[in-house]
């Protein structure tokens, strides 16, 4: 899979959003984060893989919460796909 960079990234009140636009064969190779994040598909389709689990998502799918420190990867299955990752740092 070819790595994908966000088209838009912004922060609002402690939440970081990253919006990705991409085509088949692109995505976010295996990685993990310090904080959990929610992934939502606005158009097209993706597959999210994590240890022992694979989930295909499209605009009709409920957003999925990916836990902190768990590896996962996101691969685009359909050209012109748009998906969004939203992170929120825990309040201290």
Give me the CATH number covering residue 20: 2.60.120.10
28: exposed, middle or buried (Cβ count in 10 Å: 0-12, 13-18, 19+)? buried
pLDDT tens for 22-80 read 999 999 999 999 889 999 999 999 999 998 899 999 999 999 999 999 999 999 999 99
* Start-to-end Cα distance in the chain: 37
Do the Cβ atoms of 83 and 42 come closer than 8 Å?
yes
What domain range includes position 9? 2-88
pTM value surpassing 0.95: no
The domain tally of the chain equals: 1
Give me the pLDDT at residue 51, please: 84
Give me the pLDDT at residue 25, please: 95
């Amino acid at each position: 899979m070819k790595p994908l960079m966000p088209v838009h990234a912004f922060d609002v009140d402690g939440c970081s959003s990253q919006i990705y636009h991409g085509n088949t064969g692109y995505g976010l190779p295996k990685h993990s984060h310090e904080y959990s994040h929610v992934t939502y598909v606005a158009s097209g389709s993706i597959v999210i893989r994590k240890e022992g689990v694979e989930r295909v998502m499209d605009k009709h799918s409920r957003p999925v919460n990916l836990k902190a420190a768990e590896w996962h990867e996101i691969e685009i299955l359909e050209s012109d796909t748009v998906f969004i990752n939203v992170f929120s740092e825990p309040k201290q």
